[in-house]
Structure 1
Protein backbone atom coordinates (compact mmCIF):
# COMPACT_ATOMS: atom_id res chain seq x y z
CA UNK A 1 0.00 0.00 0.00
CA UNK A 2 1.04 3.59 -0.60
CA UNK A 3 1.39 5.97 2.32
CA UNK A 4 -1.95 7.59 1.54
CA UNK A 5 -3.68 4.18 1.28
CA UNK A 6 -2.34 3.25 4.71
CA UNK A 7 -3.66 6.50 6.15
CA UNK A 8 -7.04 6.00 4.46
CA UNK A 9 -7.42 2.51 5.92
CA UNK A 10 -6.19 3.57 9.37
CA UNK A 11 -8.45 6.63 9.40
CA UNK A 12 -11.60 4.82 8.30
CA UNK A 13 -10.96 1.95 10.74
CA UNK A 14 -10.45 4.49 13.53
CA UNK A 15 -13.53 6.45 12.48
CA UNK A 16 -15.70 3.32 12.45
CA UNK A 17 -14.18 2.31 15.79
CA UNK A 18 -15.21 5.58 17.41
CA UNK A 19 -18.65 5.44 15.78
CA UNK A 20 -19.29 1.96 17.17
CA UNK A 21 -17.98 3.13 20.54
CA UNK A 22 -20.68 5.80 20.52
CA UNK A 23 -23.44 3.30 19.63
CA UNK A 24 -22.32 0.86 22.32
CA UNK A 25 -22.22 3.63 24.91
CA UNK A 26 -25.95 3.98 24.35
CA UNK A 27 -26.40 0.20 24.53
CA UNK A 28 -24.91 -0.07 28.00
CA UNK A 29 -26.42 3.20 29.24
CA UNK A 30 -29.97 2.37 28.14
CA UNK A 31 -30.97 0.45 31.30
CA UNK A 32 -29.50 3.10 33.64
CA UNK A 33 -31.22 5.85 31.60
CA UNK A 34 -34.58 4.10 32.00
CA UNK A 35 -34.00 3.77 35.75
CA UNK A 36 -32.72 7.31 36.36
CA UNK A 37 -35.33 9.13 34.27
CA UNK A 38 -38.18 6.74 35.16
CA UNK A 39 -39.24 6.34 31.54
CA UNK A 40 -41.01 3.48 29.78
CA UNK A 41 -39.35 0.97 27.48
CA UNK A 42 -41.24 2.56 24.59
CA UNK A 43 -39.78 5.99 25.32
CA UNK A 44 -36.33 4.42 25.67
CA UNK A 45 -36.81 2.58 22.39
CA UNK A 46 -37.28 5.90 20.66
CA UNK A 47 -33.75 6.88 21.70
CA UNK A 48 -32.36 4.17 19.42
CA UNK A 49 -34.92 4.85 16.70
CA UNK A 50 -34.11 8.56 16.63
CA UNK A 51 -30.42 7.69 16.41
CA UNK A 52 -31.15 5.53 13.36
CA UNK A 53 -33.26 8.27 11.77
CA UNK A 54 -30.34 10.66 12.27
CA UNK A 55 -28.04 8.16 10.56
CA UNK A 56 -30.43 7.97 7.61
CA UNK A 57 -30.49 11.78 7.30
CA UNK A 58 -26.72 12.05 7.78
CA UNK A 59 -25.99 9.46 5.13
CA UNK A 60 -28.15 11.26 2.57
CA UNK A 61 -26.92 14.76 3.40
CA UNK A 62 -23.22 14.07 3.71
CA UNK A 63 -23.18 11.77 0.71
CA UNK A 64 -24.04 14.82 -1.41
CA UNK A 65 -21.68 17.05 0.55
CA UNK A 66 -18.85 14.56 0.01
CA UNK A 67 -19.46 14.65 -3.75
CA UNK A 68 -19.28 18.44 -3.76
CA UNK A 69 -16.43 19.36 -1.39
CA UNK A 70 -14.47 16.11 -1.13
CA UNK A 71 -14.43 12.96 0.95
CA UNK A 72 -11.67 13.93 3.36
CA UNK A 73 -13.17 17.26 4.47
CA UNK A 74 -16.61 15.70 4.80
CA UNK A 75 -15.24 12.73 6.76
CA UNK A 76 -13.68 15.05 9.34
CA UNK A 77 -16.85 17.15 9.62
CA UNK A 78 -18.99 14.08 10.32
CA UNK A 79 -16.60 12.82 12.99
CA UNK A 80 -16.64 16.24 14.62
CA UNK A 81 -20.46 16.28 14.70
CA UNK A 82 -20.97 12.87 16.28
CA UNK A 83 -18.10 13.43 18.74
CA UNK A 84 -19.57 16.68 20.09
CA UNK A 85 -23.11 15.30 20.12
CA UNK A 86 -21.97 12.22 22.06
CA UNK A 87 -20.06 14.30 24.60
CA UNK A 88 -23.11 16.57 24.97
CA UNK A 89 -24.98 13.58 26.43
CA UNK A 90 -23.10 14.31 29.67
CA UNK A 91 -25.31 17.39 30.05
CA UNK A 92 -28.54 15.69 28.91
CA UNK A 93 -30.76 15.21 31.96
CA UNK A 94 -34.13 15.05 30.24
CA UNK A 95 -35.64 12.88 27.54
CA UNK A 96 -35.99 15.70 24.93
CA UNK A 97 -32.31 16.61 25.41
CA UNK A 98 -31.30 12.97 24.95
CA UNK A 99 -33.41 12.71 21.78
CA UNK A 100 -31.74 15.83 20.35
CA UNK A 101 -28.21 14.67 21.16
CA UNK A 102 -28.83 11.21 19.72
CA UNK A 103 -30.32 12.59 16.51
CA UNK A 104 -27.28 14.83 15.98
CA UNK A 105 -24.93 11.96 16.82
CA UNK A 106 -26.79 9.81 14.30
CA UNK A 107 -26.41 12.46 11.59
CA UNK A 108 -22.65 12.48 12.11
CA UNK A 109 -22.34 8.70 12.35
CA UNK A 110 -24.45 8.06 9.23
CA UNK A 111 -22.49 10.55 7.19
CA UNK A 112 -19.15 9.25 8.45
CA UNK A 113 -19.95 5.64 7.55
CA UNK A 114 -20.96 6.37 3.96
CA UNK A 115 -18.08 8.74 3.24
CA UNK A 116 -15.61 6.32 4.86
CA UNK A 117 -16.70 3.48 2.56
CA UNK A 118 -16.38 5.83 -0.43
CA UNK A 119 -12.82 6.71 0.63
CA UNK A 120 -11.83 3.04 0.66
CA UNK A 121 -13.59 2.29 -2.64
CA UNK A 122 -11.80 5.14 -4.43
CA UNK A 123 -8.34 4.47 -3.06
CA UNK A 124 -8.00 0.71 -3.59
CA UNK A 125 -8.29 -1.86 -6.37
CA UNK A 126 -11.83 -3.27 -6.82
CA UNK A 127 -10.72 -6.84 -6.03
CA UNK A 128 -9.54 -5.72 -2.57
CA UNK A 129 -12.62 -3.79 -1.47
CA UNK A 130 -14.28 -6.68 0.40
CA UNK A 131 -11.25 -7.47 2.53
CA UNK A 132 -10.32 -3.86 3.22
CA UNK A 133 -13.82 -2.76 4.19
CA UNK A 134 -13.86 -5.79 6.50
CA UNK A 135 -10.64 -4.61 8.10
CA UNK A 136 -12.15 -1.16 8.59
CA UNK A 137 -15.33 -2.73 10.03
CA UNK A 138 -13.26 -4.82 12.44
CA UNK A 139 -11.73 -1.54 13.57
CA UNK A 140 -15.29 -0.57 14.42
CA UNK A 141 -15.63 -3.63 16.63
CA UNK A 142 -12.50 -2.61 18.52
CA UNK A 143 -14.40 0.53 19.47
CA UNK A 144 -17.35 -1.58 20.61
CA UNK A 145 -15.09 -3.66 22.86
CA UNK A 146 -13.55 -0.48 24.28
CA UNK A 147 -17.05 0.83 25.02
CA UNK A 148 -17.98 -2.42 26.80
CA UNK A 149 -14.88 -2.22 28.99
CA UNK A 150 -15.37 1.46 29.81
CA UNK A 151 -19.08 0.96 30.55
CA UNK A 152 -18.29 -1.82 33.01
CA UNK A 153 -16.07 0.55 34.99
CA UNK A 154 -17.55 4.03 34.54
CA UNK A 155 -21.32 3.46 34.86
CA UNK A 156 -21.20 1.75 38.33
CA UNK A 157 -18.79 4.39 39.71
CA UNK A 158 -19.67 7.65 37.95
CA UNK A 159 -23.08 7.13 36.30
CA UNK A 160 -24.21 6.84 32.70
CA UNK A 161 -23.70 10.54 31.83
CA UNK A 162 -19.97 10.35 32.52
CA UNK A 163 -19.56 7.51 30.01
CA UNK A 164 -20.49 9.79 27.11
CA UNK A 165 -17.74 12.28 27.91
CA UNK A 166 -15.35 9.84 26.23
CA UNK A 167 -17.14 10.76 23.01
CA UNK A 168 -14.91 13.81 22.69
CA UNK A 169 -11.94 11.54 21.82
CA UNK A 170 -12.77 11.39 18.06
CA UNK A 171 -12.08 15.12 17.71
CA UNK A 172 -8.37 14.30 17.98
CA UNK A 173 -8.69 11.97 14.97
CA UNK A 174 -9.84 14.81 12.71
CA UNK A 175 -6.46 16.54 13.09
CA UNK A 176 -4.55 13.52 11.79
CA UNK A 177 -7.01 12.91 8.93
CA UNK A 178 -6.82 16.46 7.60
CA UNK A 179 -3.03 16.39 7.85
CA UNK A 180 -2.26 13.00 6.31
CA UNK A 181 -5.19 11.78 4.17
CA UNK A 182 -5.59 13.12 0.63
CA UNK A 183 -8.31 12.84 -1.98
CA UNK A 184 -7.92 9.99 -4.47
CA UNK A 185 -6.97 10.77 -8.07
CA UNK A 186 -10.21 9.08 -9.13
CA UNK A 187 -12.28 11.59 -7.15
CA UNK A 188 -10.25 14.59 -8.33
CA UNK A 189 -10.67 13.64 -12.01
CA UNK A 190 -14.40 12.92 -11.61
CA UNK A 191 -14.95 16.18 -9.71
CA UNK A 192 -13.13 18.25 -12.32
CA UNK A 193 -15.14 16.56 -15.07
CA UNK A 194 -18.39 17.36 -13.27
CA UNK A 195 -17.43 21.02 -12.96
CA UNK A 196 -16.24 21.26 -16.57
CA UNK A 197 -19.49 19.75 -17.88
CA UNK A 198 -21.62 21.89 -15.53
CA UNK A 199 -23.24 18.73 -14.18
CA UNK A 200 -25.51 19.04 -11.16
CA UNK A 201 -24.76 16.77 -8.21
CA UNK A 202 -28.07 15.40 -7.00
CA UNK A 203 -29.75 12.23 -5.78
CA UNK A 204 -31.80 12.22 -8.98
CA UNK A 205 -28.80 10.94 -10.95
CA UNK A 206 -29.15 7.63 -9.09
CA UNK A 207 -32.57 7.19 -10.73
CA UNK A 208 -31.65 8.39 -14.23
CA UNK A 209 -32.76 5.16 -15.95
CA UNK A 210 -35.23 2.43 -14.91
CA UNK A 211 -32.42 -0.11 -14.49
CA UNK A 212 -30.32 2.26 -12.41
CA UNK A 213 -33.37 3.18 -10.32
CA UNK A 214 -34.07 -0.51 -9.56
CA UNK A 215 -30.45 -1.06 -8.56
CA UNK A 216 -30.48 2.03 -6.33
CA UNK A 217 -33.71 1.00 -4.62
CA UNK A 218 -32.45 -2.56 -4.13
CA UNK A 219 -29.24 -1.35 -2.51
CA UNK A 220 -31.18 1.09 -0.33
CA UNK A 221 -33.45 -1.68 0.98
CA UNK A 222 -30.48 -3.98 1.65
CA UNK A 223 -28.52 -1.38 3.59
CA UNK A 224 -31.54 -0.10 5.55
CA UNK A 225 -32.42 -3.62 6.69
CA UNK A 226 -28.81 -4.48 7.53
CA UNK A 227 -27.79 -1.26 9.30
CA UNK A 228 -31.09 -0.56 11.07
CA UNK A 229 -31.37 -4.20 12.10
CA UNK A 230 -27.79 -4.32 13.35
CA UNK A 231 -27.88 -1.12 15.38
CA UNK A 232 -31.40 -1.79 16.62
CA UNK A 233 -30.35 -5.20 17.94
CA UNK A 234 -27.00 -4.12 19.36
CA UNK A 235 -28.52 -1.13 21.18
CA UNK A 236 -30.97 -3.37 23.03
CA UNK A 237 -28.91 -6.52 23.63
CA UNK A 238 -27.12 -5.40 26.83
CA UNK A 239 -30.40 -4.23 28.40
CA UNK A 240 -32.17 -7.45 27.43
CA UNK A 241 -29.39 -9.60 28.85
CA UNK A 242 -29.20 -7.55 32.04
CA UNK A 243 -32.95 -7.83 32.58
CA UNK A 244 -33.59 -11.42 31.46
CA UNK A 245 -30.48 -12.99 33.00
CA UNK A 246 -30.12 -10.64 35.97
CA UNK A 247 -26.60 -9.64 34.95
CA UNK A 248 -24.74 -6.54 36.07
CA UNK A 249 -23.29 -4.07 33.56
CA UNK A 250 -19.87 -5.66 34.05
CA UNK A 251 -21.06 -9.20 33.35
CA UNK A 252 -23.15 -8.18 30.35
CA UNK A 253 -20.04 -6.44 28.99
CA UNK A 254 -18.17 -9.77 28.94
CA UNK A 255 -21.09 -11.36 27.07
CA UNK A 256 -21.09 -8.55 24.50
CA UNK A 257 -17.33 -8.78 23.96
CA UNK A 258 -17.72 -12.47 23.06
CA UNK A 259 -20.44 -11.52 20.55
CA UNK A 260 -18.26 -8.79 19.03
CA UNK A 261 -15.26 -11.12 18.62
CA UNK A 262 -17.48 -13.57 16.72
CA UNK A 263 -18.73 -10.73 14.51
CA UNK A 264 -15.16 -9.68 13.71
CA UNK A 265 -14.28 -13.19 12.56
CA UNK A 266 -17.37 -13.25 10.35
CA UNK A 267 -16.47 -9.91 8.78
CA UNK A 268 -12.98 -11.02 7.90
CA UNK A 269 -14.08 -14.38 6.51
CA UNK A 270 -16.93 -13.09 4.35
CA UNK A 271 -15.01 -10.02 3.19
CA UNK A 272 -12.41 -12.42 1.80
CA UNK A 273 -15.11 -14.69 0.31
CA UNK A 274 -16.68 -11.69 -1.44
CA UNK A 275 -13.39 -10.76 -3.12
CA UNK A 276 -12.86 -14.32 -4.32
Structure 2
Protein backbone atom coordinates (compact mmCIF):
# COMPACT_ATOMS: atom_id res chain seq x y z
CA UNK A 1 0.00 0.00 0.00
CA UNK A 2 2.87 2.41 0.79
CA UNK A 3 4.22 1.90 -2.75
CA UNK A 4 0.79 2.66 -4.20
CA UNK A 5 0.46 5.78 -2.06
CA UNK A 6 3.90 7.04 -3.14
CA UNK A 7 3.19 6.36 -6.82
CA UNK A 8 -0.19 8.10 -6.59
CA UNK A 9 1.43 11.08 -4.85
CA UNK A 10 4.07 11.38 -7.57
CA UNK A 11 1.35 11.31 -10.23
CA UNK A 12 -0.65 14.01 -8.42
CA UNK A 13 2.42 16.27 -8.35
CA UNK A 14 2.85 15.92 -12.11
CA UNK A 15 -0.81 16.72 -12.68
CA UNK A 16 -0.81 19.58 -10.13
CA UNK A 17 -3.89 18.05 -8.49
CA UNK A 18 -2.17 18.36 -5.14
CA UNK A 19 -2.29 22.18 -5.39
CA UNK A 20 -6.09 22.10 -5.49
CA UNK A 21 -6.15 19.56 -2.66
CA UNK A 22 -3.77 21.69 -0.59
CA UNK A 23 -5.89 24.82 -1.13
CA UNK A 24 -9.06 23.12 0.10
CA UNK A 25 -7.35 21.38 3.03
CA UNK A 26 -5.65 24.63 4.03
CA UNK A 27 -8.98 26.45 3.97
CA UNK A 28 -10.52 23.56 5.91
CA UNK A 29 -7.95 23.83 8.70
CA UNK A 30 -8.19 27.62 8.60
CA UNK A 31 -11.91 27.35 9.30
CA UNK A 32 -11.20 24.69 11.93
CA UNK A 33 -8.75 26.96 13.76
CA UNK A 34 -11.00 30.00 13.50
CA UNK A 35 -13.97 28.07 14.87
CA UNK A 36 -11.90 26.85 17.80
CA UNK A 37 -10.96 30.40 18.77
CA UNK A 38 -14.49 31.80 18.60
CA UNK A 39 -15.23 30.35 22.03
CA UNK A 40 -12.15 31.97 23.57
CA UNK A 41 -13.16 35.41 22.35
CA UNK A 42 -16.77 34.93 23.47
CA UNK A 43 -15.97 33.62 26.95
CA UNK A 44 -16.24 36.96 28.75
CA UNK A 45 -19.58 37.73 27.06
CA UNK A 46 -20.91 34.23 27.80
CA UNK A 47 -20.01 34.53 31.47
CA UNK A 48 -21.89 37.82 31.70
CA UNK A 49 -25.00 36.75 29.76
CA UNK A 50 -25.46 33.25 31.20
CA UNK A 51 -24.09 34.06 34.67
CA UNK A 52 -21.38 31.41 34.45
CA UNK A 53 -18.82 30.64 37.13
CA UNK A 54 -15.16 30.31 36.12
CA UNK A 55 -15.51 26.52 36.40
CA UNK A 56 -18.50 26.47 34.04
CA UNK A 57 -16.78 28.79 31.59
CA UNK A 58 -13.65 26.63 31.62
CA UNK A 59 -15.70 23.46 31.18
CA UNK A 60 -16.92 24.74 27.81
CA UNK A 61 -13.34 24.35 26.62
CA UNK A 62 -13.31 20.83 28.09
CA UNK A 63 -16.48 19.94 26.17
CA UNK A 64 -14.75 21.22 23.04
CA UNK A 65 -11.65 19.07 23.53
CA UNK A 66 -13.71 15.98 24.45
CA UNK A 67 -15.71 16.37 21.23
CA UNK A 68 -12.54 16.83 19.21
CA UNK A 69 -10.98 13.71 20.72
CA UNK A 70 -13.98 11.54 19.84
CA UNK A 71 -14.26 13.25 16.46
CA UNK A 72 -10.64 12.41 15.70
CA UNK A 73 -11.30 8.72 16.37
CA UNK A 74 -14.45 8.44 14.26
CA UNK A 75 -12.92 10.76 11.64
CA UNK A 76 -10.08 8.30 11.05
CA UNK A 77 -12.57 5.44 10.74
CA UNK A 78 -14.80 7.46 8.38
CA UNK A 79 -11.81 8.31 6.15
CA UNK A 80 -11.13 4.61 5.61
CA UNK A 81 -14.79 3.63 5.32
CA UNK A 82 -16.32 6.41 3.21
CA UNK A 83 -13.37 8.28 1.72
CA UNK A 84 -11.16 11.19 2.68
CA UNK A 85 -12.94 13.87 0.65
CA UNK A 86 -16.43 12.85 1.80
CA UNK A 87 -15.29 12.89 5.41
CA UNK A 88 -13.84 16.40 5.04
CA UNK A 89 -17.05 17.63 3.42
CA UNK A 90 -19.44 16.21 6.00
CA UNK A 91 -17.34 17.26 8.97
CA UNK A 92 -17.31 20.85 7.66
CA UNK A 93 -21.10 20.69 7.38
CA UNK A 94 -21.38 19.25 10.90
CA UNK A 95 -19.33 21.86 12.71
CA UNK A 96 -20.61 24.76 10.58
CA UNK A 97 -24.24 24.08 11.45
CA UNK A 98 -23.37 23.07 15.02
CA UNK A 99 -21.45 26.28 15.64
CA UNK A 100 -24.13 28.46 14.02
CA UNK A 101 -26.71 26.94 16.39
CA UNK A 102 -24.60 28.16 19.33
CA UNK A 103 -25.75 31.66 18.48
CA UNK A 104 -29.33 30.62 19.34
CA UNK A 105 -28.62 28.94 22.69
CA UNK A 106 -30.18 30.37 25.85
CA UNK A 107 -28.30 28.73 28.72
CA UNK A 108 -25.13 26.90 29.74
CA UNK A 109 -26.29 23.34 29.03
CA UNK A 110 -27.66 24.16 25.59
CA UNK A 111 -24.37 25.82 24.68
CA UNK A 112 -22.30 22.93 26.10
CA UNK A 113 -24.32 20.31 24.20
CA UNK A 114 -24.07 21.98 20.81
CA UNK A 115 -20.43 22.89 21.40
CA UNK A 116 -19.68 19.20 21.98
CA UNK A 117 -21.59 18.21 18.81
CA UNK A 118 -19.84 20.79 16.63
CA UNK A 119 -16.47 19.79 18.10
CA UNK A 120 -16.94 16.26 16.77
CA UNK A 121 -16.63 17.82 13.34
CA UNK A 122 -13.63 19.91 14.37
CA UNK A 123 -11.62 16.87 15.48
CA UNK A 124 -12.64 14.73 12.50
CA UNK A 125 -11.80 17.47 9.99
CA UNK A 126 -8.29 17.85 11.39
CA UNK A 127 -7.60 14.15 10.89
CA UNK A 128 -9.28 13.98 7.47
CA UNK A 129 -7.44 17.01 6.02
CA UNK A 130 -4.03 15.73 7.09
CA UNK A 131 -4.76 12.22 5.82
CA UNK A 132 -6.03 13.49 2.47
CA UNK A 133 -3.06 15.81 1.96
CA UNK A 134 -0.50 13.16 2.95
CA UNK A 135 -1.74 10.88 0.16
CA UNK A 136 -1.23 13.55 -2.50
CA UNK A 137 2.35 14.55 -1.64
CA UNK A 138 5.53 12.44 -2.12
CA UNK A 139 7.46 11.47 1.01
CA UNK A 140 10.38 13.70 0.00
CA UNK A 141 8.33 16.89 0.53
CA UNK A 142 5.61 15.58 2.82
CA UNK A 143 6.46 17.26 6.11
CA UNK A 144 7.18 20.59 4.41
CA UNK A 145 3.72 20.54 2.84
CA UNK A 146 2.03 19.22 5.99
CA UNK A 147 3.85 21.76 8.16
CA UNK A 148 2.62 24.53 5.87
CA UNK A 149 -0.83 22.97 5.99
CA UNK A 150 -0.75 23.10 9.80
CA UNK A 151 -0.17 26.83 9.50
CA UNK A 152 -3.77 26.98 8.29
CA UNK A 153 -4.89 26.60 11.90
CA UNK A 154 -2.81 29.60 12.95
CA UNK A 155 -4.13 31.63 10.02
CA UNK A 156 -7.58 30.65 11.27
CA UNK A 157 -6.67 32.05 14.69
CA UNK A 158 -5.79 35.35 13.05
CA UNK A 159 -9.05 35.38 11.08
CA UNK A 160 -11.01 34.69 14.29
CA UNK A 161 -9.08 37.44 16.09
CA UNK A 162 -9.89 39.99 13.39
CA UNK A 163 -13.53 38.89 13.20
CA UNK A 164 -13.89 39.14 16.97
CA UNK A 165 -12.34 42.60 17.00
CA UNK A 166 -14.79 43.70 14.33
CA UNK A 167 -18.03 41.93 15.31
CA UNK A 168 -18.00 41.48 19.10
CA UNK A 169 -17.96 45.13 20.22
CA UNK A 170 -20.76 46.09 17.79
CA UNK A 171 -22.94 43.01 17.19
CA UNK A 172 -22.20 40.74 20.17
CA UNK A 173 -21.12 37.13 20.50
CA UNK A 174 -24.14 35.54 18.79
CA UNK A 175 -23.36 37.04 15.38
CA UNK A 176 -19.80 35.76 15.71
CA UNK A 177 -21.11 32.18 15.79
CA UNK A 178 -23.62 32.75 12.99
CA UNK A 179 -20.72 33.51 10.65
CA UNK A 180 -19.64 29.85 10.98
CA UNK A 181 -22.35 28.81 8.49
CA UNK A 182 -20.30 30.27 5.60
CA UNK A 183 -17.89 27.26 5.29
CA UNK A 184 -20.73 25.09 3.97
CA UNK A 185 -20.03 26.72 0.59
CA UNK A 186 -16.47 25.36 0.78
CA UNK A 187 -17.82 21.87 1.44
CA UNK A 188 -20.05 21.99 -1.63
CA UNK A 189 -17.19 23.15 -3.86
CA UNK A 190 -14.84 20.52 -2.50
CA UNK A 191 -17.31 17.72 -3.18
CA UNK A 192 -17.36 18.74 -6.84
CA UNK A 193 -13.70 19.58 -7.49
CA UNK A 194 -11.45 17.37 -5.34
CA UNK A 195 -11.08 13.67 -6.23
CA UNK A 196 -10.50 10.87 -3.76
CA UNK A 197 -6.85 9.69 -3.62
CA UNK A 198 -6.03 6.99 -6.17
CA UNK A 199 -4.62 4.69 -3.47
CA UNK A 200 -7.91 4.75 -1.53
CA UNK A 201 -9.97 4.17 -4.68
CA UNK A 202 -7.79 1.21 -5.59
CA UNK A 203 -8.01 -0.27 -2.09
CA UNK A 204 -11.82 0.01 -2.10
CA UNK A 205 -11.95 -1.61 -5.56
CA UNK A 206 -9.85 -4.52 -4.31
CA UNK A 207 -12.13 -4.98 -1.30
CA UNK A 208 -15.20 -4.93 -3.55
CA UNK A 209 -13.59 -7.50 -5.85
CA UNK A 210 -12.78 -9.81 -2.93
CA UNK A 211 -16.36 -9.47 -1.67
CA UNK A 212 -17.78 -10.28 -5.11
CA UNK A 213 -15.53 -13.33 -5.45
CA UNK A 214 -16.57 -14.46 -1.99
CA UNK A 215 -20.24 -14.28 -2.95
CA UNK A 216 -19.59 -16.25 -6.14
CA UNK A 217 -17.63 -18.91 -4.31
CA UNK A 218 -18.83 -19.19 -0.68
CA UNK A 219 -16.62 -22.25 -0.05
CA UNK A 220 -13.41 -20.29 -0.75
CA UNK A 221 -11.29 -19.22 2.22
CA UNK A 222 -11.93 -15.49 2.79
CA UNK A 223 -9.00 -13.06 2.85
CA UNK A 224 -8.33 -12.03 6.43
CA UNK A 225 -7.35 -8.39 6.95
CA UNK A 226 -5.55 -7.43 10.11
CA UNK A 227 -7.19 -4.56 11.96
CA UNK A 228 -5.32 -1.30 12.47
CA UNK A 229 -5.24 -1.54 16.28
CA UNK A 230 -4.17 -5.19 16.13
CA UNK A 231 -1.29 -4.17 13.88
CA UNK A 232 -0.27 -1.39 16.28
CA UNK A 233 -0.51 -3.29 19.55
CA UNK A 234 0.81 -6.55 18.06
CA UNK A 235 4.20 -4.97 17.34
CA UNK A 236 6.06 -3.95 20.56
CA UNK A 237 7.89 -1.10 18.84
CA UNK A 238 4.74 0.27 17.19
CA UNK A 239 2.84 -0.10 20.48
CA UNK A 240 5.46 1.86 22.43
CA UNK A 241 5.57 4.60 19.80
CA UNK A 242 1.76 4.83 19.69
CA UNK A 243 1.43 5.14 23.49
CA UNK A 244 4.32 7.63 23.66
CA UNK A 245 2.79 9.96 21.07
CA UNK A 246 -0.68 9.67 22.62
CA UNK A 247 0.76 10.85 25.94
CA UNK A 248 2.78 13.58 24.24
CA UNK A 249 -0.28 14.87 22.38
CA UNK A 250 -2.36 14.73 25.57
CA UNK A 251 0.10 16.82 27.58
CA UNK A 252 0.50 19.23 24.68
CA UNK A 253 -3.25 19.80 24.46
CA UNK A 254 -3.47 20.16 28.24
CA UNK A 255 -0.96 22.99 28.26
CA UNK A 256 -1.64 24.69 24.95
CA UNK A 257 -5.43 24.73 24.91
CA UNK A 258 -5.65 25.40 28.61
CA UNK A 259 -3.76 28.65 28.08
CA UNK A 260 -5.29 29.47 24.69
CA UNK A 261 -8.86 29.07 25.93
CA UNK A 262 -8.41 31.70 28.63
CA UNK A 263 -5.87 34.03 26.99
CA UNK A 264 -8.29 36.57 25.42
CA UNK A 265 -10.39 36.78 28.61
CA UNK A 266 -7.23 37.14 30.72
CA UNK A 267 -5.82 39.94 28.56
CA UNK A 268 -9.16 41.72 28.62
CA UNK A 269 -10.08 41.43 32.30
CA UNK A 270 -6.79 41.00 34.18
CA UNK A 271 -4.39 42.97 31.98
CA UNK A 272 -6.91 45.68 31.14
CA UNK A 273 -6.27 45.54 27.39
CA UNK A 274 -8.89 46.97 25.08
CA UNK A 275 -9.95 44.88 22.09
CA UNK A 276 -7.71 46.78 19.65
CA UNK A 277 -4.55 46.25 21.72
CA UNK A 278 -5.41 42.61 22.42
CA UNK A 279 -6.02 41.93 18.72
CA UNK A 280 -2.61 43.32 17.74
CA UNK A 281 -0.87 41.25 20.42
CA UNK A 282 -2.57 37.97 19.44
CA UNK A 283 -2.11 38.49 15.69
CA UNK A 284 1.62 38.89 16.31
CA UNK A 285 1.69 35.70 18.39
CA UNK A 286 -0.15 33.63 15.78
CA UNK A 287 2.02 35.00 12.97
CA UNK A 288 5.07 33.65 14.80
CA UNK A 289 3.31 30.28 15.09
CA UNK A 290 2.79 30.18 11.31
CA UNK A 291 6.50 30.72 10.71
CA UNK A 292 7.41 28.06 13.28
CA UNK A 293 5.17 25.43 11.67
CA UNK A 294 6.50 26.02 8.16
CA UNK A 295 10.13 25.96 9.32
CA UNK A 296 9.53 22.77 11.33
CA UNK A 297 8.20 21.06 8.21
CA UNK A 298 11.16 22.15 6.11
CA UNK A 299 13.61 21.04 8.84
CA UNK A 300 12.00 17.60 9.09
CA UNK A 301 12.41 17.01 5.35
CA UNK A 302 15.99 18.24 5.39
State the match for 1:101 in structure 2: 114
| C-alpha spacing 1:223/1:192, structure 2 compared with 1 (3 Å) | farther
Pair member with larger Rg = 2
State the match for 1:135 in structure 2: 148
SS at match of 2:135: helix
Normalising by structure 2, we get a TM-score of 0.86
Whole-angstrom CA distance in 1 between matches of 2:135 and 2:181: 29
Specify which of 17, 40, 53 is matched with residue 40 of structure 1.
Answer: 53
2:104 equivalent to 1:78: no
2:265 equivalent to 1:220: no
Structure 1, gaps ≥5 residues long: none
Structure 2, gaps ≥5 residues long: 1-12, 211-222
2:221 equivalent to 1:211: no
Specify which of 254, 257, 262 is matched with residue 236 of structure 1.
Answer: 262
User: Number of residues paired by the alignment?
Assistant: 276
Retained in 2: the 8 A contact 1:23–1:231?
Answer: no
Worse-matched range after superposition: 215-224 or 256-265: 215-224
State the match for 2:3 in structure 1: none
Indicate the RMSD between aligned Cα atoms, in angstroms.
Answer: 1.7
SS at match of 1:246: coil
Retained in 1: the 8 A contact 2:33–2:152?
Answer: no
- 1:211, distance to aligned residue in structure 2 (A): 2.4
Deviations 1:94-121 (A, max 9, x none): 1001111211121101000011111111
State the match for 1:6 in structure 2: 19
SS at match of 1:66: helix
State the match for 1:124 in structure 2: 137
Specify which of 213, 221, 225 is matched with residue 199 of structure 1.
Answer: 225
Retained in 2: the 8 A contact 1:27–1:239?
Answer: yes
Retained in 1: the 8 A contact 2:93–2:187?
Answer: yes
Whole-angstrom CA distance in 1 between matches of 2:97 and 2:61: 18
2:200 equivalent to 1:187: yes
Specify which of 113, 132, 139 is matched with residue 126 of structure 2.
Answer: 113
State the match for 2:285 in structure 1: 259
